Amino acid sequence: MPRAYSMDLRKRVIEACDRGETIAQVAQRFAVSPSFVNKLQQRRRKSGTLEPKPHGGGRQPLLSLEHDEMLRTLLAAQPDTTLEELRDKLGLKVHLSTLWYRLQRLGLTFKKNAGSSRARA
């Protein structure tokens, strides 16, 4: 994940802008994008700070710890359950790959094919 530019760089960029250099000149001189220079100027005008905004935290998982326990319980009771059956029993609207990756992360196994969806000779 890309990291925020340092405060030192941010200060030097703004100082160059304050001396009258154009956005393009400042961007080239400090090897940053012109949009970064522009956004940094806007940030200073609006909030009075050059500090980067805090990280948003990323995407929240669709499956909780309670779902993990339910998965363990369901698979312990019926180890040949398919992904589709697990999803239905959990009452979730998630993609099967979401369930697959969670089971993989938990180290759980399950039946991979429903009997009716197997290839026929």
Asked whether 2 and 52 are in contact (CB, 8 A), the reply is no
* d(C-alpha 48, C-alpha 30), whole Å: 22
pTM listed for this prediction: 0.52
Quick one: what percent of the chain has pLDDT higher than 90? 42
Q: What is the pLDDT of residues 106-120, one digit of tens each?
A: 888 766 665 555 544
Alpha helices by DSSP H, listed for the chain, are 7-18, 23-30, 34-47, 65-77, 83-90, 96-106
Separation between Cα atoms, residue 78 and residue 19, nearest integer Å: 72
Q: Which whole number is the average pLDDT over 72-82?
A: 87
Q: Which residues of 14-47 are buried (b: 16+ CB within 10 A; e: fewer)?
A: bebbeeebebeebbeeeebeeebbeebbebeeee
> If you search the block for the tokens 């994008």, which residue do you land on?
33
Sign of CA dihedral 22, 28, 34, 39: negative
Q: Is the pLDDT of residue 96 over 80?
A: yes
Could you report the per-residue pLDDT of 8-17, keeping only the tens digit for each?
A: 999 999 999 9
